[in-house]
């Protein structure tokens, strides 16, 4: 069964850092397009970052330079390193597996509170 499980969320002060993890099972991470999507409390979905199959990265303008995606194929894990956190980064963060054009598989999400 294809599954994604996020962890690493929590509360942090403005300016602080957190690293979110996404454990993948049922598929090969290194052959997959992966993304992070977030949802602020009571708000809509917002795409945050992509990692392509070739390892290249793309970011939402407002997180460029503060957030970094990475993967560890040996651990079958996908990560989001978040630095210089702001109140407006408060959200549930979902990792998602893309079939290039859409987000086919989603994790259950992990909450990040910056306060």
- Chain positions contacting another protein, by CB under 8 A: 35, 37, 44-47, 50, 52, 58, 60-61, 94, 99, 101-104, 106-109
For 32-62, the DSSP string reads SEEEEEEE-TTS-EEEEEEE-TTS-EEE-GG
Q: Measure the CA–CA gap between 93 and 39, rounded to whole angstroms.
A: 7
Nearer to another protein, 44 or 74 (CB): 44
Closer of 15 and 97 to another protein (Cβ): 97
Could you tell me the smallest distance in angstroms from the CB atom of residue 25 to another protein?
16
Query: CA 33, CA 42: separation in Å to the nearest integer?
Result: 28
Please state the closest distance from residue 95 (CB atom) to another protein, in A: 10
Measured from the CB of residue 45, what is the shortest distance to another protein in angstroms? Answer: 4
Count of residues in the chain: 115
Write down the least CB distance from residue 13 to another protein, Å.
27
Q: Specify the residue, 46 or 77, whose C-beta has the smaller distance to another protein.
A: 46
User: Across-strand partners of 72?
Assistant: 77
Task: Report the residue number, 45 or 72, with the smaller CB distance to another protein.
Answer: 45
Torsion sign over Cα 46, 52, 53, 56: negative
């Amino acid at each position: 069964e294809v599954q994604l499980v996020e962890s690493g969320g929590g509360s942090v002060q403005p300016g602080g850092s957190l690293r979110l993890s996404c454990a993948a099972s049922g598929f090969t991470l290194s052959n997959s397009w992966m993304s992070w999507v977030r949802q602020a409390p009571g708000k809509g979905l917002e795409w945050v970052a992509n990692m392509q199959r070739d390892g290249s990265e793309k970011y939402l303008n407002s997180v460029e330079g503060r957030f970094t995606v990475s993967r560890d194929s040996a651990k079958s894990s996908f990560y989001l390193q978040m630095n210089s956190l702001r109140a407006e980064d408060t959200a549930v963060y979902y990792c998602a597996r893309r079939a290039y054009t859409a987000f086919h598989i989603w994790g259950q999400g992990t909450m990040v509170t910056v306060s």
